[in-house]
Amino acid sequence: MVWPVTTERDRSGRLVIGGVPVTALVEEYGTPLYIYDEATLRERADAYRRAFARHYPRARVVYAGKAYMATWLLPLLESAGLWLDVVSGGELYLAHRGGFPAERIVFHGNNKTPDELALALQLGIGEVVVDNHHELDLLERMVPADGPGLDVLLRVNPGIDAHTHAYRKTGIVDSKFGLLIESGDAARAVERIVGIPGLRLRGYHAHIGSQIVELEPFAATVDALFRFAAAMRDRFGVVPDQISPGGGFGIPYESGDPEAAIDAYAEAVARSALAAAERWGFAPPVLTVEPGRSIVGPAGVAVYRVGTIKDIPGVRRYVCVDGGMADNIRPALYGARYTAALANRTGEGEALVTIAGKYCESGDVLIKDIALPTLEPGDLIALPAAGAYCLAMASNYNLALRPAVVAVAGGEARLVQRRERYEDLLAREALLATPPRSD
């Protein structure tokens, strides 16, 4: 199912999400508009909790904030018992300002700056995932030997090639993330960590990529982590109490895509962890997973208004909408495919069209070749599965204003992020004279 769980059509054919007609939301908040269905968010977060409770109760589910992060989301994640993965000072700051408990925050990143690490230490976050030797140099200097100490995981690169877009692969040998097991680099980092008094090595982490729908690569990652853990126990006597195969579980984007059941994912990861723990003689450690997309992706729908419709006879019909690559760069960057539906009415007929954005790039196409009812300027087009890595990667290209975001539940809508205004575009203009005050 690519649409939020509450999606339906009312009697007049309008698309309704969370009990609220999309037309009503657009009337109030304009387009482009991102709608998050709270029921879907809760259901996805809960599905993770239930699946791991069933298959591996010592699991920790860490939401990867890079998929979409906003303060309104944090209480929902917190009440579902999730932890939070941040990858920058910005995400950390937002989590802190949003009141997310610091002790449930995990800090990732392949080039954390001294300032970012200082903020993490000052806020007392739960865990840092060490990516490289430079980071160890920094932590060695920054974490006092006689303080409370810092929990760390070591990110290793297991050399696993998952089937996903090349830009999303992170666990292959040629990667900027983590330290390679094969070359001995990861083992050298373990040796260093155990020698740094302020650091407590809790275990090992690997993340092999994103939008992966096969289960086998995750099982292989778990296995590789345990094998490495056993080798480190033999060499340095360290026993991990945490193993993390990262995030990356995919979602369907188009109606024919595989369903990607969270329970099947949890079962596969859990089964390989239990088997590997037994094989290598470990008590089952905490099993940490870091879903981003599979929690927020299916909850989000982007809504655009149709403007220009351009026919190139015998070639293509371009339907241009009032958003595009500035709010969703995924089609342009990865060739990502989306589906769409007419949201303000049920239409007649069906024609193959290309939904193009409004930005100054030929590559600014949201959907190439989709069959939709005959469209008119003013119609509303809704794109499902838009909750992850759309707003998170949004830009002000062409000085576009970032869209408003509403959360819907039980027939009510809340504006959770307002649309940017033209004045926001001036906020960082260091040399612009202050406009005269009107009062």
**What does the per-residue mask of binding to ligand LLP show for 334-373, with x meaning CB under 6 A?**
x---------------------------------------
- Other beta carbons within 10 Å of 45: 23
Among 16, 41, 47, 64, the residue binding ligand LLP under the rule CB under 6 A is 64
342 CB contacts (<8 Å, ≥6 apart)?
372, 373, 375, 379, 380, 381, 382
Among 18, 89, 292, 324, the residue binding ligand LLP under the rule CB under 6 A is 292
Nearer to ligand LLP, 198 or 324 (CB): 324
Closest CB 294 distance from ligand LLP, rounded Å: 6
Nearer to ligand LLP, 109 or 285 (CB): 109
Tell me: does residue 387 bind ligand LLP (CB under 6 A).
no
Closest CB 225 distance from ligand LLP, rounded Å: 13
Asked if 204 and 225 count as a contact pair (C-beta separation under 8 A), the reply is yes
Which tokens in the block code for residue 415? Answer: 């504006």
Asked if 383 and 366 count as a contact pair (C-beta separation under 8 A), the reply is yes
Helix (H) or strand (E) segment spanning residue 148: none
Nearer to ligand LLP, 230 or 333 (CB): 333
With CB under 6 A, what is the number of residues at the site for ligand LLP? Answer: 22
End-to-end CA distance of the chain: 53
Residue type, 183: S
Residue list 151-180, contact with ligand LLP (CB under 6 A) = 168
Nearer to ligand LLP, 35 or 388 (CB): 388
Tell me: does residue 67 bind ligand LLP (CB under 6 A).
yes
Which tokens in the block code for residue 395? Answer: 């830009």
Helix (H) or strand (E) segment spanning residue 152: strand 150-157
Among 290, 327, 364, 379, the residue binding ligand LLP under the rule CB under 6 A is 290
Asked if 281 and 325 count as a contact pair (C-beta separation under 8 A), the reply is no
Among 229, 389, 400, 402, the residue binding ligand LLP under the rule CB under 6 A is 389
Nearer to ligand LLP, 296 or 319 (CB): 296
Q: SS3 for 304? A: strand
Nearer to ligand LLP, 116 or 379 (CB): 116
Considering only the stretches 287-295, 305-313, 363-371, 378-386, report the one whose residues sit in contact with ligand LLP under the rule CB under 6 A. Answer: 287-295
Tell me: does residue 291 bind ligand LLP (CB under 6 A).
yes
Nearer to ligand LLP, 295 or 320 (CB): 295
User: Which of 312, 360, 431, 433 is labelled catalytic?
Assistant: 360
Q: What's the burial of 2, exposed, middle or buried (CB within 10 Å: 0-12/13-18/19+)? A: buried
Closest CB 375 distance from ligand LLP, rounded Å: 27
Helix (H) or strand (E) segment spanning residue 135: helix 133-142
Size of the chain, expressed as the number of residues it contains = 439
In SS3 terms, 8-27 reads as EECCCCCEEECCEEHHHHHH
Residue list 69-128, contact with ligand LLP (CB under 6 A) = 85, 108
Residue list 194-253, contact with ligand LLP (CB under 6 A) = 207, 210-211, 246-249
Residue among 139, 178, 140 nearest 159 (CA) = 178
Closest CB 358 distance from ligand LLP, rounded Å: 21
Among 104, 293, 358, 402, the residue binding ligand LLP under the rule CB under 6 A is 293
Q: How far apart are alpha carbons 308 and 326 in whole angstroms?
A: 18
Nearer to ligand LLP, 390 or 413 (CB): 390
Closest CB 155 distance from ligand LLP, rounded Å: 7
Give the distance from CA 222 to its chain's centroid.
21
- Per 3-state DSSP, the chain is made up of helix, strand and coil in percentages (nearest 5) of 35, 25, 40
Helix axes 262-280, 38-55, angle to 10 degrees: 30
- The residue whose two tokens read 């470990």 is 282
* Vertex 151: Cα angle to 148 and 157 (nearest 5): 160
Asked if 346 and 13 count as a contact pair (C-beta separation under 8 A), the reply is yes
**What does the per-residue mask of binding to ligand LLP show for 4-43, with x meaning CB under 6 A?**
----------------------------------------
Closest CB 212 distance from ligand LLP, rounded Å: 8
Considering only the stretches 14-22, 44-52, 286-294, 399-407, report the one whose residues sit in contact with ligand LLP under the rule CB under 6 A. Answer: 286-294
390 is catalytic: no
**Would you please indicate which residues are annotated as catalytic (active-site) residues?**
360
| Interface residue list for ligand LLP (CB under 6 A) | 64, 66-67, 85, 108, 168, 207, 210-211, 246-249, 290-294, 330, 334, 388-389
